[in-house]
Amino acid sequence: MSQTPESAKPSQPRRIPRELIFGNPEKAAPRISPDGTKLAFLAEDEGVLNIWAGPLEGAAKPVTRDRGRGIRSYFWSGDSRTLLYVQDKDGDENWHLYRADWEGGASVDLTPFAGVQAQIIGTHPDFPQDALIGLNRRDARVHDVYRLNVASGAMDLVEQNPGDVIGWLPDVRFDLRCARAVKPDGGGELRVKDGAGTPWRTFLSWGPDDAVGAHGFAPSNDALYVESSLDSDATQLWEMSLDGKSRRLLASCAGADVSGILVHPTKFNVQACAFEKERLVWRPIGGDVGPDFEALAKALEGDAHLASRDDADGRWIVSCISDRRPASYYRYNRSTREAAFLFSTRPALESYALSPMRPVEIEARDGLKLTAYLTVPVGAEPHKLPLVLHVHGGPWARDSWGFHPEIQWLANQGYAVLQVNFRGSAGFGKRFLHAGDREWGARMQDDLTDAVFWAVREGIADKNRVAIYGASYGGYAALCGAAFTPDLYRCAVDIVGPSNLATLIKSVPPYWEPLRRVFDLRVGSLETEPEFLESRSPLFFADKIQMPMLIAQGANDPRVKVAESESIVSALRAKGKEVEYLLFPDEGHGFARPENRLKFYEACEKFLARHLGRE
């Protein structure tokens, strides 16, 4: 295995330039072509992330010419010549699907419909020119299914959405035979067809407290790989026959939901299942890839993620995730079980000493155990440090171990950083998830408060120098921290966070409409509980905010509209409170353009230094 050169080994801690952390990566997201002869990746072309491609052993060149926010998601078509990618306009999330040839030329917009969002449903190795896509062209609330010829751009309607389907799945012959729908009570059901042309029927049904999803059809085409919590707290992976006569448990892990599965690209058998509690763990199924994960565990200093592979399943592109190195990629040969270093996403960072991230367990005031991650500046003693409580978004998501640009940036400036999987976070089973129902701004916020108390009690944090920081739900939590626990924090940073839960729910994108009942159950009902939502909305408690605030927003955000930030900014300024506001006119739910990221982080760095005493 190729090693990182001696010149790239960490030196003594020194200040890392923001550009090295928040600028575009040098290279990222490598993808091997299905025939195994070509490699594509993302890299800058005239300062913007574009797709580059070339022979597996040769030089690459840019094959797209995006000059906006850059390309971040793409994949190879089955013909190993065509690259497909999605792009929106300035963050509006109306994704269009584009085609580019690996040898270059102008990209082609395959879904040139204004105000329409394209979703990728699937491709198939036996139909290299086709893709199944979802479009909300007929009804903005739901996606119908089309079969698209990526060479000609011609598309045919395959299935019209009945109004409640939020996910579709083709079988091993590329026929659409599984759908995931939501029910009026907030639960859901899996619907299947017994064959192409047969009617839909209910296969599985569940209530709002459970989680069920299909990951694909088994090679026999008469069974599904199903992730389910119907018989357990955490989701388990099952193989279930469509006739309901048999089912087989394939993988489970106490306290951790299924976080991903590995399915052979042409044989369609499930090969491994991933679980994540503190760290990512792969459980091989059937013995096919067990020796490969053992080899990778020995070769890589971090957690292995399979990023791409050829159709023969002989060549893998593997990402190595570590807490003290930027993501790096390796070419792995299954026949020799050798991993060769491909590239680091940010090689200039390899010469800096990065800070370790340590999993910790924190007990909330009601005894609930919270999985958290503590990062202490490299070389510093964990004693009375200024602390940044970094709150994840979602909230039905989670924090994970590994390299995190914001965490390393904060630690490099001398702050301890604490990330908490508060109740309502995903991945830890249904009891933990639903412990957060109707607890926005309440017990979910108490968990964050208790985490700060823990850090102070352990002697890690200086109680007088604590900041709360987050984006999306994390931004909401930052506003709640400022409004509901004004004596706990010295300052707060809110990025695209909602300030008024009623207007948040009222203004969600139309394609979230089928999930409205989930918001009713997990957040609160807009129709019947406006007072309850108001009681959990920081906007109505702006008079209690005393601490300095930094608020940043994308003008085109379709999830958290610009009014959410501007309302709280106006309320604070009307009362003479200290608030710094950054509005980015060409961004959405997050900041994709490097120049905007750098502007924000420069302002944030100065803000935190001023109020946490690091100037």
Q: Residues 124, 292, 557, 611: which is the catalytic one?
A: 557
pLDDT band at 2 (very low <50, low <70, confident <90, very high): very low
447 is known as an active-site residue: no
User: Averaged over 501-526, what is the pLDDT?
Assistant: 93
pLDDT band at 450 (very low <50, low <70, confident <90, very high): very high
User: Which residues 6+ apart lie within 8 Å of 18 measured at CB?
Assistant: 409, 598, 601, 602, 605
Mean per-residue pLDDT over the chain, rounded: 95
Q: Are 83 and 63 in contact (CB under 8 A)?
A: yes
In CATH terms, the fold of domain 355-612 is Rossmann fold (3.40.50)
pLDDT at 12: 45
Compute CA 32 distance to the chain's CA centroid, rounded to the nearest angstrom: 22
Question: What is the distance between the alpha carbons of residues 293 and 304, in angstroms, rounded to a whole number?
Answer: 8
Residue 395 confidence (pLDDT) above 80:
yes
Q: Summarize pLDDT for 309-368 with one digit per residue, the tens.
A: 999 999 999 999 999 999 999 999 999 999 999 999 999 999 999 999 999 999 999 999
pLDDT at 549: 98
Task: Using the CB atoms, write b or e for 38-55: b if 16+ within 10 Å.
Answer: bbbbbbbbeebbbbbbbe
- Of 259-268, 343-352, 511-520, 565-574, the poorest mean pLDDT is in 511-520
Residue 10 confidence (pLDDT) above 60:
no
- Of 10-19, 34-43, 77-86, 370-379, the poorest mean pLDDT is in 10-19
pLDDT at 614: 61
Question: What is the distance between the alpha carbons of residues 150 and 167, in angstroms, rounded to a whole number?
Answer: 21
pLDDT band at 3 (very low <50, low <70, confident <90, very high): very low
Residue 238 confidence (pLDDT) above 70:
yes
Q: Summarize pLDDT for 91-121 with one digit per residue, the tens.
A: 999 999 999 999 989 999 999 999 999 999 9
Q: Residues 215, 305, 390, 589: which is the catalytic one?
A: 589
589 is known as an active-site residue: yes
pLDDT at 104: 87
User: Averaged over 584-602, what is the pLDDT?
Assistant: 96
Q: For residue 108, count CB atoms less than 10 angstroms from its CB and return exposed for 0-12, middle for 13-18, buried for 19 or more.
A: middle
pLDDT band at 80 (very low <50, low <70, confident <90, very high): very high
pLDDT above 70: percentage of residues in the chain: 98
Residue 444 confidence (pLDDT) above 70:
yes
Return phi, psi of residue 409, to 5°. -60, -45
pTM of the complete model = 0.94
Q: Summarize pLDDT for 161-183 with one digit per residue, the tens.
A: 999 999 999 999 999 999 999 99
Q: Residues 472, 499, 565, 567: which is the catalytic one?
A: 472
User: Which residues 6+ apart lie within 8 Å of 294 measured at CB?
Assistant: none
